[in-house]
Amino acid sequence: MKQRKPQIKAETYPISSYAHQRTSVAAFLLALVLLLQSLAFAQKQTYARFDRELTKKEELWVKKTLTTLKLDEKIGQMFTVDTNAVFMNRESDEYKRLRHHVVDNKVGGMILFRSDVWASAMLTNRLQEMAKVPLLVSADLEMGLGMRLDDTAWWAPNMAVAATGDVKYARLQGEYTAREARAAGINWLYAPVADVNNNPNNPVINVRSYGEDPQTVAAFASAFIAGAQGVGALATAKHFPGHGDTATDSHIGLPVVDVSKQRLEQLELVPFRAAIASGVGSVMTAHIALPQIEPESAAPLRRLSATERDSAEFLSLTESNAVRVTLPATLSSKVLTGILREELKFKGLVVTDAMSMAGVAARYDAGTAAVQAIRAGADMILKSPDIDAAISAVKLAVERGEISEARINLSVERLLHAKALLGLHEKRTVNINEVDRVVSDPQFDAVAQEIANRSMTLVRDEQKALPLNFNQEEKGKTRLLNITFTDDDNRAITQPFIAELRRCGARVETLTLDHRSTDRDLERVRTRLNENARDAEPIGAVIYSVSVRAQSGKGSVALPPMGTRLAEELSKVKMPVIVISFGNPYLLAAMPNARTYLAAYSPYPVSQRAAARALAGEIDIAGKLPVSLPGLYPRGHGLEIKRK
């Protein structure tokens, strides 16, 4: 399809295999200023650093606790059990499973997936009380508590935060997420994402990253860490040594990042160095192969046991086209010990990504994977598909001399060190009476909305269509046709956007298509567009709301064929057509004839409300792209429109 102007020729980024815009001196200096500001803030917040020395009281507790643990119990401390914190009866199978791992296996932590606020607080309290050693309770909270706790709000993703151009929002993002998390019983945040998303086709990182510029990612990630750890939560820089330049999702395959050590130093490692300088408490590993760093071949694909299949995160596999697939970074001592520990001097916790993901589990059984990860330098094994088997395998490896007990002690001491810094040795439970005073505090929600508002990025507006002319004195007179396309199963996904447009004064008609739609559905759209000329009150503008986003296990962020066909139909329409990407900002490449294109970065309600307000002229549009759109627009581009 012929592309519309303006087009900006992309230059090759000298340290990447992908096309990039060469960073201008001004942009580089701005990124450097952002980084220095965030590092200065982190240095001032000494209580936020998890590499500080323990007090005598804390050190005594760590040493005393370590001496009381038997070998089995010390190995158990190196494992995290997963659950969904929802109501469960004490006689239920899931409750008994959790009790077994906490009481019998003495696991050191738990990770929450889809959960509820009250259930999280109640369940973590109960398990904390029955644990011999306090538990590290973790969750992936990159986009606020809503990412894991269903009855709370999602925040806009990291790329939207970076689009504001202000690192203070990353600090507030970290601080407010941590305050809510601690109130709900979660003390370990698997955030921020420190990956540099320099691959437009990355199917799993995408808007989870702060962008494609390593200095900018470093600045925003460091600010998040300072905010989160400054209020007493443990932050995590992930996914080491960098998952941004991948076209395979490690949930369903083993990505290969075939780059040199020099390239890692100049790109992927920059944010991790900054995070370590900021005193980050933990680093999460990536299930990626780096042939030029770790040449040992990976094991071949295998059959999973029944237990492993029940907990595996993949149903199908995506194999890399690379000639040779090598040992995942999670299992590589060259990566975890050689680079992270020895070169980067990281002294905190090294936690693996979920071991049930295909990047590891498709090739290694639970026991082998745990043993190799510990030998490589990991301190905590996350979400093993078979914890019992993995603990037994590690114990056997110690008995055989493959892993020394001193090596186990080193990891357990680090874990206890983190628990002491979190104050868990003195108070391991949360005050139930404070949960609903802190979680979903209106102040926090207001900042989340402010970030979304300031992130709106107008990439193109050839028609000068924005802002739309809503008649505030005659509510309902402005007619709009919203056509939603989504690759999500939720066909009502843009309902918050529609509701906000109506609040702003528009009369909105809406149609929805998705990846399962047929030619008949597309014809229905054509018919409605053709009818417009005969309407007594013609539609003033068409909005094409596209909700295509990175999701774990989906394997692609491309616009499905039906979405592309719909874009082609809309490019023929004479009236103004406004395309909004509620997710992947790179989608403009799939519909280059779009005359107006707004990047909203996510389908979450905060972003949908912000997009509606931007169209209505209620807020400024001032966001800047944290990534380049290859062949179209450079990083830092964004048109500005003042509110009416």
What is the value of pTM for the model shown?
0.91
pLDDT given for residue 39 in this prediction? 52
* Structural domains present in the chain: 25-51+74-433 (3.20.20.300), 456-616 (3.40.50.1700)
Strand order in the sheet with 136-139: 188-189, 136-139, 109-112, 79-83, 381-382
Report how far residue 253's alpha carbon sits from residue 596's, in angstroms, rounded to the nearest whole number.
36
pLDDT given for residue 16 in this prediction? 35
Query: Under a CB-based contact definition with an 8 Å cutoff, are residues 203 and 167 in contact?
Result: no
pLDDT given for residue 23 in this prediction? 43
Nearest to 287 by CA among 108, 84, 552: 552
CA angle, 489 then 494 then 497, to 5° = 170
Helix (H) or strand (E) holding 382: strand 381-382
pLDDT given for residue 428 in this prediction? 98
pLDDT given for residue 2 in this prediction? 35
Query: Under a CB-based contact definition with an 8 Å cutoff, are residues 635 and 599 in contact?
Result: no
Q: Which residues of the chain have pLDDT under 50?
A: 1-23, 41-47, 475-476
Report how far residue 226's alpha carbon sits from residue 40's, in angstroms, rounded to the nearest whole number.
10
CA distances from 198 to 207, 209, 308, 582 (A): 11, 10, 33, 20
pLDDT given for residue 556 in this prediction? 83
For the chain, state the CA radius of gyration. Answer: 25
The pair of three-digit structure tokens given for residue 281, joined into one six-digit string: 């408490």
Name 295's Cβ contacts closer than 8 Å, sequence gap at least 6.
Answer: 326
How deeply is 441 buried, as exposed, middle or buried, from its count of CB atoms within 10 A (0-12, 13-18, 19+)?
middle
Strand order in the sheet with 282-285: 236-240, 282-285, 349-351
Per-residue pLDDT of 550-578, as tens digits, reads 888 777 889 999 999 999 999 999 899 99
Q: Which residues pair with 240 in a beta bridge?
A: 285
pLDDT given for residue 474 in this prediction? 52
